[in-house]
Each structure stands twice: as C-alpha cells, then as structure tokens.
Amino acid sequence: MSVRYVEDKKTFILQTRHCTYQMKISEYDYLLHLYYGERIEDEDLGYLIRPQDRGFSPNPNEAGNDRTFSLDVFPQEFSSDGCSDYRVSSIEVKNGDGSYAFMGKVSGYNIYPGKYRLEGLPSLFATENDTVDTLEIWLRDASTKVTVILCYSVFEEKDIITRAVKVFNGNEKTMYLNRIMSTTIDFMESAFDFVHFDGRHTMERNLTREPISYGVQSIGSTRGASSHQHNPFVILCDHDANEEYGNCYGFSLVYSGNFRCEVEKDQFDQTRIQFGINPKGFSYQLKPNEKFIAPEVVLAYSSQGFTKLSHLYHNVYRENLCRSPRAKEIRPIVINSWEATYFNFDDTKLLNIAREAVDMGVDLFVLDDGWFGKRDDDSSGLGDWNVNTSKLKKGLKGLSDEINQLGLKFGLWIEPEMVSEDSNLYRAHPDWCLSIPKRPATRGRFQLVLDLSRKDVCDYLIKEINQVLDSANIEYIKWDMNRCITEAWSHVVEPDKQGEIYHRYVLGLYYILDHIVLGHPDILFDGCAGGGGRYDPGMLYYHPQIWCSDNTDAVNRLKIQYGTSFVYPISTIESHVSVCPNHQTGRTVSMKTRGVVAMNGIFGFELDSTKMSREEKELCREQSEFYRKHYWLIANGDYYRLTNPFENKEYTAWQHVSKDKTESLASLVLTDKESNAPQLYLKLKGLNDSDFYRIQGDDRIYSGKALMTAGIPVPNLAQYESVQYYLTKVKEA
Ligand code: GLA
C-alpha cells in the first residue's frame, strides 16, 4: 500500500514510485512534517529535527520547562494559530468565545483504498488503472473541540499526491473560519526559487522566477476567478534547476475562485509554503456540527527538472481530471465567428463563413457572442438567452440544421454567469446580481455578475441553459465569463454570512456545471474567461479545453503557450489561426507560422474565411489534415520545451514525442532575425539515443543521439518564419 502508519515510530509514510512524503506524531501528539522529496525507504526521518533552545520561540504548556520544543521552530504539517507558531498560518478562526486560537493534536487517523471525495468541489478521480490510497488524519483542538481533517490521496504510479482539508465545528457555539489553507508544507531548508505564472488580459501566464527571501512572498487572486493576473500553480525548485535537472515541487490548486499561495522563509532559514482559498474577503460561519471543505491541491515532485514535472501533471490531468467523455476523442477543428464578425452578423454571413471553412478542413462552426436578446454590442442583452431572430431568421435550430447540411457540426457561445442592466432578466430580478444596497454597482465590460451563491438563481440558469442546449443540434459550447467580481454581497444572506459569498459563488458555479455538463455528455465544453482568465484545474474538470488567451498573435502566443504548458496538458490549450494584421498587436506573421503555433494546442480558426485567398485556404486545409493526422502525438505525447521564449529572443522551439518514442514533431519559429546570422542548430529531446529516425522530406537517417546532442542545422528563415520536423523511427541506419 502506498500509505502506511508505522506504529512504533509514529510516522505516516506516503510513497509513490519515485517520491516519499513523511510525517510524525511528536511528543504531546503534534503532527510534524519530516520530508517530501525523492523516494527514501527509511521509516523514521525524525532525526532531521534537532531540538534546540530557541530563546524567543514559545513552548506549549505540556512541554513544561523544556525550551527546545516549540511549534514556532519545528516543521508543521498544519500550523496552529494564536498559539506560538508565528509563521503564516494554515488556519485562522474566531471561536464561539471570541478567541482567535487553534491548536490541533492528532486524535485519530484512517487509511483506506481509493480516493477521498470533496462534496461540491471538483477534484482528481481514480480510474480503474490507478492504484490510489487515502490517509485522513484528525487534528483536534481539545479546548474548542474544533477538528481539522487532513486528507491525502496517493496516486502511486502517477507520482502524484493530492491534499485537501475539512474543518468541523464540534463546539456548541458558532465559529468563524477566516482562513483555511488546503496545503502547508514546511521544508527544513530555503535554497529555493519560487516560480509562478503572472500576466494580464491577453498576455497570461508569463513565467516569473525569483529566489525566496526572508519574509513572505505571495501570489493570488481576489477577482472572484482564478484570474489572468496569476495562475493557481507554482513551483518551488533548486536555484540551479532547469528543464532536465534539479528538484522541483509543483503545487496546483483545483479551484476557480480567489486563491492565495504564500512562501515564507523564516528566521531559521526554513521554508513554509501554503496554498488555498484567498483569506481576503473570506469569513465562513460554521454553526455547531457544521463542516467546511477546502479545495484540493495537487502535488508533484520531480528530481529531474521541469520537463518531468510537466509530464506528471499532463498525464494526471488528462486522465484523472478532464472527465468529459469528449476529452478522450479527437477534438474537432473549429472555426469561431468572433474575430470574423464580432457582433455584426446575420445568418447569411455566418453560413458563408461556414461554407468557405469546409474547404479549410474545419469540422465545427462556433457562433460566438451576439446571437441572443438585444445584443448588438457588449452593453446589453446578457441574461436573455432567447435567440435574436432579426439576426438569425430561422432561429438556432434553422441555422444549426443548415450548418449541419454543409457537413459541419454546430457550436455556440454562452456567458451564463452574467447579466446586463439592459436586459429583461435584470429588469425582472435586479436583486439576482451581486451588489450592495445603497452602493452603486461597479460595472465591468458594462455587465454585472449574477449571484451564484443563490440556489434559486442557479436553478433558473440550469433550466434556461438546458433549454438552449436542447433547442438545436448543438455539439460544442464555449462557456465564457467576462468580468471580475466586485461588491460580493448577496441580497438573501444575513450580514454575518456575507464573507462566504466569493466561495459560495464558486460552489454555485460548480453546481450549475455539474447539472448542465453532466446532463450533456455528448457536448464538448470549452472554457473561457476573456481568454485565459479562469484557466485552472477546477474548470478543466468540466471543460477539457480552454481558450488560452484573447490574444491570437502567433508571436505573443509563443510565450503564453510556453507558460501554460508547465502544468496544463497540450490537449487543454485552445489555439486558433486568426487574420493579419493581428487584431490585438497589429503584427503580420505568415499563415504557415500562425498554423504551426496554433497546432501546439487544440487547433482551429478565428477569422472570416470569405476573405481569404484560394492559396491561403489550401494551406489551411493542408495544416488541418496534418494536425488531424498527428493529433494523438500532439495532444497525448510527451511535451518538451526546447527553448524559453523569455530568455532566447532568437527563436522558440518545442517538441511532441510519442510515449513509445517512435514518432515526434518538433517546431521552431524564428522570432528575431539578424543579417548574416550564425548557423542555428536545433537540439531535440526525448528520443532514444540508440534508435534511428527519419525526418519527413529528408532521405538521411539520424540517430536519436545525433539529433539530441549535435542537433539539426536550421534553414535560413526570415523573421517569424517557421519550420517543422516530423520524425519517425526506422529499423536501422
Ligand atoms: C471574450 C472571449 C472572446 C469572445 C468575447 C465575446 O472576450 O474571450 O473570445 O468570445 O468574449 O464577447
């Protein structure tokens, strides 16, 4: 079993194929963290903790005169609060007696096969091919009778450990949970870099790397969604870690709302990392016997750098997170109407775009924003999910039937979580949006956010959206969310429960997704929030692919897709060829390069096909065919970042390698051109040294070793030109 309790040593041991995670019940029954890292067989790593007299660090009451036992010094598995641990805290409570204190001691544990469940929240699931075991440890505060349950599930073969926390109020008085971190890990060292992925709308997930230093470094979101600005994924790694080398610890939060990750280097050069719901604006009331469930963090450890870490996440997210049956099938090549028409269309225009797209190898036409209510721009109509018959004379059914007759599937854009003030829904139910009485509501993109903490609002949306989905032959839904939350106040909740709204919104969102997505297993759902503003594992549980960014510029996309690939599988990264000059940057890049970049993800188009030349459409058709042929290699193969676009200004390259290493696709885009430039050599990765490969279009045979160590001389390319190498293994040289 991958989980054990060693009775005589009082250690809990979690073991995957390559890593070990160890904890120990200390004297006086506190739970200490001993180790997380490369697999070690020792059953008790308690010797790593060397008690010393640490003057100003207080000692628990039971320790008496023993000044060497301090929770302020020892590595904790879940820190106490208000009782001597002064580092960032796993929990903050206001107890029924007004005290701000929690000090948990181990009061029991349970080990069982299978994965724990988190009611109401998305989390990884075990498939029949996985060996998963679970450990639950109870930490009880004897004074307040508040109990915290730490949950761990171990995916042994996949080298993944998941963690979550539940809090139970066993007191006879109401308490408030003001902070609850799903994961705390105390490392006894501090020689780490903190890697995180920050950005902004249309420029998401830029890699940032900095050494940790004394005090607290923190990233997070308070925008109601996981956000464009920071992604709920971070890495702690050795200072010299790179793609192939060094210890890397990944932390990925399965949650789509406000989050925070904090890294603290303490006075003794130890490191505490915490990840969970953002405590800002969070205060959760727990009446006697009520329970709170905090979201899951997925932990991965690699002793061989970032590439290995990414492979661990890609594999587990593909197989144990994206649960849609559509996720397991080859994805359709989509043409989306947004950049082609924006709000300005009618059915004739749409049908013309679809008709021309057939020749480009497209499978599915997506009608984006503007098809419903009064919606000629973004100032009105959200909430009225009835078809606008002045634009679509035969309704959705008529349009989808005609699209189907062209041989294409039909998809639709919706933004269910929002309401425009100029809409029938808002006029009928002004109290259904998040807003504070007597305080003018803040607008974002002219719209307001519906109060998904309310069950009546959620049930209404489920009914409305289900009706839309059932009204035509809709096989694809792009689910959008285009503003951040402000004034998170619900009109039906008592004042002392308003601190729950941000979280209850996310629970409401998961509730409607559960009903709508599960009820339509045949529909492929695609996530979006102004592009990549809610690109997180919580959404991937429902939507197996996400519109990676509203930025379709192929050169900017190199950076955006690079950052995204650190944790999210290529099969989740939606990427489209759009028109040039590009609508976001004004840049012109060849059609070929736009296609090469877009096929480093879920390939598709976002342009007016009626305005393209015959040659351009022919090239698109060839690229669609090439992509479709190599879909499984791209979407399910092992992914290698060959360069870092933030460091290598000259070119960006990446590579997909099949699991059995018999085929591979490498792509390179020249991003900066100098006259009379030195010869470039592209060094591949992930092949077998001793195997031989042929590159399509080249008669030579190369050994894997030559391709990886000596490389391939890159042809002389103009700026923004690209080249692709498709390799297959051959029997012998
Ligand atoms: C967001 C999306 C776009 C498009 C528009 C429609 O910005 O990211 O792709 O769907 O909304 O309003």
DSSP assignment of 10-22, as one string? Answer: TEEEEE-SSEEEE
* Model confidence at 296: pLDDT above 80: yes
Beta bridge partners of 726: 665
Q: Cα–Cα distance between 621 and 619 in angstroms, integer?
A: 5
Beta bridge partners of 473: none
Count Cβ atoms below 10 Å from residue 379 Cβ, excluding itself: 15
Q: Cα–Cα distance between 233 and 225 in angstroms, integer?
A: 14
Q: What phi and psi, each to the nearest 5 degrees, are found at residue 600? A: -90, 50
Using the mean position of ligand 1's atoms as its centre, give its distance from the Cα of residue 328 in Å.
26
Asked if 663 and 648 touch (Cβ cutoff 8 Å), the reply is no
* Model confidence at 71: pLDDT above 80: yes
Asked if 93 and 145 touch (Cβ cutoff 8 Å), the reply is no
Q: Find out whether the peptide bond into 332 is cis, omega within 30 degrees of 0.
A: no
Q: Cα–Cα distance between 406 and 355 in angstroms, integer?
A: 7
* Model confidence at 732: pLDDT above 80: no
DSSP H helices, 245-374, are 305-320, 338-341, 347-358
Using the mean position of ligand 1's atoms as its centre, give its distance from the Cα of residue 542 in Å.
19
- Regarding the beta carbon of 568 and ligand 1, being less than 6 Å apart is answered no
Using the mean position of ligand 1's atoms as its centre, give its distance from the Cα of residue 368 in Å.
8
Using the mean position of ligand 1's atoms as its centre, give its distance from the Cα of residue 202 in Å.
11
Name the residue with the closest Cα to ligand 1, atom 2: 530
Please report the pLDDT score of residue 731 as a whole number.
85
Beta bridge partners of 639: 656
Asked if 109 and 12 touch (Cβ cutoff 8 Å), the reply is yes
Q: Could you tell me which of 548, 549, 553, 608 has the C-alpha nearest to residue 586?
A: 553
Please report the pLDDT score of residue 695 as a whole number.
98
Asked if 381 and 392 touch (Cβ cutoff 8 Å), the reply is no
> Token match 């998040």: residue?
434
Q: What are the distances in angstroms from CA 72 to CA 47, 145, 189?
A: 18, 23, 15
Q: Count each helix (H run) and each strand (E run) in the chain, helices first.
A: 13, 37
DSSP, collapsed to helix, strand or coil, labels residue 204 as strand
Which token pair is 461? 């949306």
Name the residue with the closest Cα to ligand 1, atom 7: 530
Please report the pLDDT score of residue 535 as a whole number.
98
Using the mean position of ligand 1's atoms as its centre, give its distance from the Cα of residue 547 in Å.
9
Q: Cα–Cα distance between 261 and 251 in angstroms, integer?
A: 9
Asked if 133 and 154 touch (Cβ cutoff 8 Å), the reply is yes
Q: Could you tell me which of 593, 634, 547, 551 has the C-alpha nearest to residue 719?
A: 593
Single-letter residue type at 100: Y
Which token pair is 321? 């997170």
Geometric angle at alpha carbon 479, from 475 and 485, rounded to 5°? 170
Q: Could you tell me which of 188, 184, 183, 185 has the C-alpha nearest to residue 270?
A: 188
Kindly report the three-state secondary structure assignment for every residue of 83-101: CCCCCCCCEEEECCCCCCC
> CA gyration radius for the chain?
27
Q: Pick the catalytic residue: 266, 451, 536, 553?
A: 536
Q: Could you tell me which of 513, 563, 558, 515 has the C-alpha nearest to residue 535?
A: 563
- Regarding the beta carbon of 372 and ligand 1, being less than 6 Å apart is answered no
* Model confidence at 459: pLDDT above 90: yes
End-to-end CA distance of the chain: give it in Å, rounded: 45
Q: Cα–Cα distance between 411 and 426 in angstroms, integer?
A: 26
Name the residue with the closest Cα to ligand 1, atom 8: 530
- Regarding the beta carbon of 691 and ligand 1, being less than 6 Å apart is answered no
Q: Cα–Cα distance between 556 and 348 in angstroms, integer?
A: 33
Using the mean position of ligand 1's atoms as its centre, give its distance from the Cα of residue 151 in Å.
38
Q: Cα–Cα distance between 287 and 711 in angstroms, integer?
A: 65
The minimum-distance atom of ligand 1 relative to the CA of 606 is: 9
Asked if 187 and 263 touch (Cβ cutoff 8 Å), the reply is no
536 has catalytic annotation: yes
Q: Cα–Cα distance between 345 and 358 in angstroms, integer?
A: 19
User: Is the torsion defined by CA of 502, 508, 512, 515 positive or negative?
Assistant: positive
Q: What are the distances in angstroms from CA 716 to CA 126, 177, 589, 719?
A: 49, 61, 17, 10
Using the mean position of ligand 1's atoms as its centre, give its distance from the Cα of residue 338 in Å.
7
Name the residue with the closest Cα to ligand 1, atom 3: 530
Q: Cα–Cα distance between 257 and 155 in angstroms, integer?
A: 26
616 has catalytic annotation: yes
Single-letter residue type at 697: G
Beta bridge partners of 235: 195, 250
DSSP, collapsed to helix, strand or coil, labels residue 440 as coil
Beta bridge partners of 663: 728
- Regarding the beta carbon of 413 and ligand 1, being less than 6 Å apart is answered yes
Geometric angle at alpha carbon 695, from 694 and 699, rounded to 5°? 70
Q: Cα–Cα distance between 343 and 653 in angstroms, integer?
A: 36
Q: Find out whether the peptide bond into 581 is cis, omega within 30 degrees of 0.
A: yes
Q: Cα–Cα distance between 502 and 488 in angstroms, integer?
A: 6
Distant-in-sequence contacts of 652-661, Cβ < 8 A, 24+ apart: 652/558, 652/562, 653/682, 654/562, 654/565, 654/600, 655/684, 655/685, 655/686, 656/570, 656/630, 657/633, 657/685, 657/686, 657/687, 658/632, 658/633, 661/686, 661/687, 661/688, 661/691, 661/704, 661/729
Percent pLDDT > 70 in the chain is 100
Percent pLDDT > 90 in the chain is 99
Name the residue with the closest Cα to ligand 1, atom 1: 530
How long a stretch of residues is the chain? 733
Name the residue with the closest Cα to ligand 1, atom 11: 530
DSSP, collapsed to helix, strand or coil, labels residue 558 as helix
* Model confidence at 332: pLDDT above 70: yes
- Regarding the beta carbon of 535 and ligand 1, being less than 6 Å apart is answered no
DSSP label of 433: B
β-pairing, 284-286 with 259-265? Answer: unpaired
* Model confidence at 733: pLDDT above 70: no
Asked if 156 and 131 touch (Cβ cutoff 8 Å), the reply is yes
Count Cβ atoms below 10 Å from residue 131 Cβ, excluding itself: 15
Q: Pick the catalytic residue: 376, 616, 622, 721?
A: 616
Please report the pLDDT score of residue 580 as a whole number.
98
Q: Quick one: average pLDDT of 521-527?
A: 97
Q: Cα–Cα distance between 612 and 577 in angstroms, integer?
A: 12
Using the mean position of ligand 1's atoms as its centre, give its distance from the Cα of residue 445 in Å.
11
- Regarding the beta carbon of 605 and ligand 1, being less than 6 Å apart is answered no
- Regarding the beta carbon of 204 and ligand 1, being less than 6 Å apart is answered no
Q: What phi and psi, each to the nearest 5 degrees, are found at residue 397? A: -65, -45
Q: Is the pTM of this model over 0.85?
A: yes
* Model confidence at 504: pLDDT above 90: yes
Q: Quick one: average pLDDT of 621-639?
A: 98
Q: What is the pLDDT of residues 401-426, one digit of tens each?
A: 999 999 999 999 999 999 999 999 99
Please report the pLDDT score of residue 572 as a whole number.
98
Please report the pLDDT score of residue 184 as a whole number.
98
The minimum-distance atom of ligand 1 relative to the CA of 531 is: 8
The overall average pLDDT reported for the chain is 97
Please report the pLDDT score of residue 430 as a whole number.
97
* Model confidence at 443: pLDDT above 90: yes
Confidence grade of residue 55 (pLDDT, cut at 50, 70, 90): confident
Test site for ligand 1: of 334, 338, 534, most ligand atoms within 8 A of the Cβ: 338
Distance of CA 311 to the CA centre of its chain: 15
Asked if 87 and 96 touch (Cβ cutoff 8 Å), the reply is no
